[in-house]
Structure 1
Amino acid sequence: MNGHDPFALRALLGPDAALCRRAITGEQGVSLPPFIDHHVHLHLIDEGPLAAGGIAGVVDLGGDPVALAQRDHHGIPRVAYAGAFLTAVGGYPVGRSWAPAEIAREISNASTHPGVPGGAATAVDEQASFGASVIKVSLNRVDGPVFDPDTLAAVVSSARERGLPVVAHVEGEGMAQLALDAGIDALAHTPFTEAVGRKLTAHAVTAGQVWVSTLAIHGAGDEASENARINLAGFAAAGGRVLYGTDLGNGDQPVGVHPAEVAALHRAGVRGPALIVAMTDPWPSSVAPTGVCTFVAGPAPTTLDEVAAWLAGACVVPAEELIHDDH
C-alpha cells in the first residue's frame, strides 16, 4: 500500500479507517464510513456535486415537505428531513427572501388534538405524513416572536407521540435554555448568540441533547464565531454528542466536505476519531447509508493537523469497489 501503519491510521481516524485501493482504477487511499452533513437546505443548492465531494447523506432542516416526500429515496445522497420549520405566528423564517411559504408553518394554537387549524399537533402530523424523520422548531428571538412554553411543549409532546425527535434553531438570549427546558433533542446550530456556560452545557450533555456544529457560517473571529467555538468546545469536552453540519445553502459554501467546518471542529477540540464520528453519525436515523464508503485518495495523513485539509479530497464510492489492503 503506502507504508502507513494501519494501527496508527485507526488511532488517527477511528477503528473503521482502512487502507484500500479501488478495484477498477487501482487508486490507493483510505476508506471511511459514509459522511453525512447534518444541516442542509436542498432547495437552496445544487445537490449534484455532493457525492463527488464526499457527502453520502444529508439532513434537510427546513424545506417543502411535499417536494421532499416526492424525492427518489434510494439514491445518494440519502436524505432525511424535517419538512417545514414550525414557528410562532410571524416568527423566523416567515417572510425571508430565501424561505418560500412552503417551508414554514405558523402555529397559533397549542392544541395537541389532530386537525385543529394552526394547531401544534396538526403541524407535526403534516410533517410526519410526508415522511419527516425529525421535527424542526424555530426559537429565534432576534428575528421575531417565538413559541410560549405551552405551545412549545405541545409541539414536543406531539412529536414524541409520533416517535420523532425535535431539533431547534436557537438564536437570542435564553433560547438555548428554553430548548433545553422543553426537552428539545437537538440544536440545529451550536449556540452562537451567547456563551451558554457550564451549567447549561452539563445539563444538555446529561439530557442527551445533540448539537450540530455549523461553526463556519460565522465570520472568522467575530463574536458569534467565538461564542460557537467556546460553546462547542465545552460541550464536546463534557462528553456531548456533536454532529458535523454546515447549514449548506446559507451563503457561498462548497457542496461537499467543507474544509473550514472541519478545521473549526478541530479547533473546538473535535478532532481525530471524534471528528470522524461527528461526520459519520447517522442521526436522526440509527442506520448509516448502505452500499457506499467515503474514500480519500492518496497518502494517509500522519498527524491530526493534516486531517482537515486531507478530508477535502473525499468522494463517495461503492463499497464493493474497494479492496482493503491492511488486514
Structure 2
Amino acid sequence: MTLSAARPVRRSLTAETGTALPAFVDHHVHLHLIDASSLARRGIAAVVDLGGDAVALARRGDGIPRVTFAGAFLTVPGGYPQGRSWAPASTVCEVTDRSPHPGVPGGARTAVDAQADAGASVIKVALNADAGPVPDDETLFAIVAAARERGLPVVAHAQGDGQVERTLEAGVDVLAHAPSGEPLSRRLLSRAVAAGQAWISTLDIHRGAARGRAIADLRAFAARGGRVLYGTDLGNGDLPVGLNRRELLALHEAGVRGDRLVDALSDPWPASAPVGGLSTFIPGPAPDDSADLAAWLSRGTVVPTEELDRVD
C-alpha cells in the first residue's frame, strides 16, 4: 500500500527512522472535559472544540495542540445540551429571537456575533430533536445567514427525524456526528454530497445498533464522494486521549481507507491551510495491507517538521 503523503524520515534528535505524514486533527473535542496535555505525544497536533466557553478557549494561546473552536452551543430554551452536568452555562447560548440584526438580546445574529467576537472559527447549532426542542426553520436560517456574514462555517449536531434534511435546507456546512438514527435515503445522501457537506465521524461514541447505522450511513456517504473528517467527540465518555484506534478501525469499516483515511485525519477544517510547522511521525514504514493501517496510524506522535530529515 502506498500513501501519497508519506515520506521516509529520520528523527534528528533520536536517529529513529519512520514515516512522516501531515499533522493530524481531531475535528470534534470538548477541551473542558479532558486533560489535553498528552494529545501531542499521542498523535494529535490540532483540535476543533465543538462546544465550550468561547472566552476560556480564546485564552489558551498558541501551544500544542493548536485549537480552533465554535464557542457555545447555539440552542433554544430547554434545548440540548442544557441541564447536562458536562455542559456548564458558559458552554450554551440560548437563541430566543429570530432577529438577523446585531445587538438584539437573545437574537440569532447576537448569538453568532458573541462567538465570532470571542475568536470562534465555526458556529455550532444544536439540532438534537431527540433531547428537547430545537431551533425552528426561521431561527436556523437566521443563524446560518449571520455566520455567513461573519465568514464562518456552521456545524450542526443533527439528531432526530428530519434533522439531517433540515441542515441541507439551511445550508449547514458540516455535521458534528455521522448520523446514527434511521438509515438515510440515497437521495438525501446524494444531496449532502452535492452540497459539499462534510461529516465528522465520531463513530466510537456509539455501541450496538446505533454504531452499525452510523457506519452504514458514513459508508454510503463516503462511497458517493462525501468529505469525511476524523473526529472523536473527545470528552464524551471513556475515549482515549489522542489517536483513537477504535475510531480509525470504524472508519476503515466504513470504507474510508488508505489516502482517504489520512485525508480525514489531516484535513485542516475549519482552517484553510494545513497545520504549520508540525508533522506526524510513525515508526517504521506504512503497512502493505490497508487493513493494518488503522493500528499503524494510531502509533503516531507529533513532532516539529524541522526535526525530521528525509531518507532517500
TM-score for both structures, normalised by structure 2: 0.99
Q: Distance in 1 between matches of 2:185 and 2:9?
A: 44
Correspondent of 2:238 among 252, 258, 274: 252
Task: Give the drift of 1:299.
Answer: 4.2
Paired amino acid for 1:24: L
Q: Aligned pair 1:154/2:142, yes or no?
A: yes
Distance (Å, rounded) in 2 between the aligned partners of 1:247 and 1:263? 16
Matches within 5 A, 1:1-327: 8=1, 11=2, 13=3, 15-72=4-61, 74-219=62-207, 222-326=208-312
Per the TM alignment, residue 302 of structure 1 is displaced from its structure 2 partner at its CA by 1.5
Q: Structure 2 counterpart of 1:111, which letter?
A: S
SS of equivalent to 1:139: strand
Distance in 1 (CA, whole Å) between partners of 2:243 and 2:282 is 11
Question: What displacement does 1:246 show?
Answer: 0.2
Deviations 1:43-71 (A, max 9, x none): 00000000000000000000001101111
Select between 251-260 and 297-306 the one with higher mean Cα deviation: 297-306
Residue-by-residue CA offset, 1:271-314 (whole Å, 9 max, x unaligned): 00000000000000011111110000134312101111111211
Letter in 2 for 1:274: R
The share of aligned pairs that are identical, in percent, is 59
Inter-partner Cα distance in structure 1 for 2:178 and 2:214: 6
C-alpha distance in 1, partners of 2:175/2:195? 13
Is the partner of 1:249 in helix, strand or coil? coil
Check whether the contact 1:38–1:212 (CA below 8 A) recurs between aligned residues.
Answer: yes
Does the CA-based 8 Å contact 1:83-1:132 persist in structure 2? yes
Paired with 1:223 and 1:146, the residues of 2 have a C-alpha distance of 25
Query: Using the alignment, how far apart are the partners of 1:81 and 1:194 within structure 2?
Result: 29
Measure the CA separation in 2 of the matches of 1:148 and 1:321.
Answer: 51
Report if the CA contact (8 A) 1:21-1:28 is conserved. Answer: yes
CA contact 1:134–1:284 (8 Å) conserved in 2: yes
Runs of 4+ residues deviating >6 angstroms: none
Asked if structure 2 preserves the Cα contact closer than 8 Å seen for 1:197 and 1:231, the reply is no
The alignment partner of 1:136 has SS state of strand
Alpha-carbon distance in 2 for matches of 1:144, 1:113:
26
Over the aligned positions, Cα root-mean-square deviation in angstroms equals 0.8
Task: Name the CA distance, whole Å, in 2 between partners of 1:33 and 1:212.
Answer: 18
- TM-score, normalization by structure 1: 0.94
Q: Distance in 2 between matches of 1:102 and 1:114?
A: 20
**1:244-294: CA deviations, max 9, x gaps?**
000000001111110000000000000000000000000000111111100
SS in 1 for 2:115: helix
Displacement, 1:322?
Answer: 0.6
CA distance in 1, matches of 2:298, 2:199: 23
2-structure distance, mates of 1:92, 1:302: 45
Aligned counterparts of 1:161 and 1:287: Cα–Cα separation in 2: 21
Contact 2:8–2:285 (CA<8 Å) still a contact in 1?
no
Count of residues in correspondence between the two structures: 312
What is the CA–CA distance in structure 2 between the aligned matches of 1:158 and 1:25, rounded to whole Å? 50
In structure 1, what is the Cα distance between the partners aligned to 2:60 and 2:299? 28
Tell me, in whole angstroms, the C-alpha distance in 1 between the residues paired with 2:70 and 2:293.
Answer: 31
Q: Distance in 2 between matches of 1:48 and 1:70?
A: 16
Deviation at 1:194, TM superposition (A): 1.7
Structure 1 letter corresponding to 2:253 = R
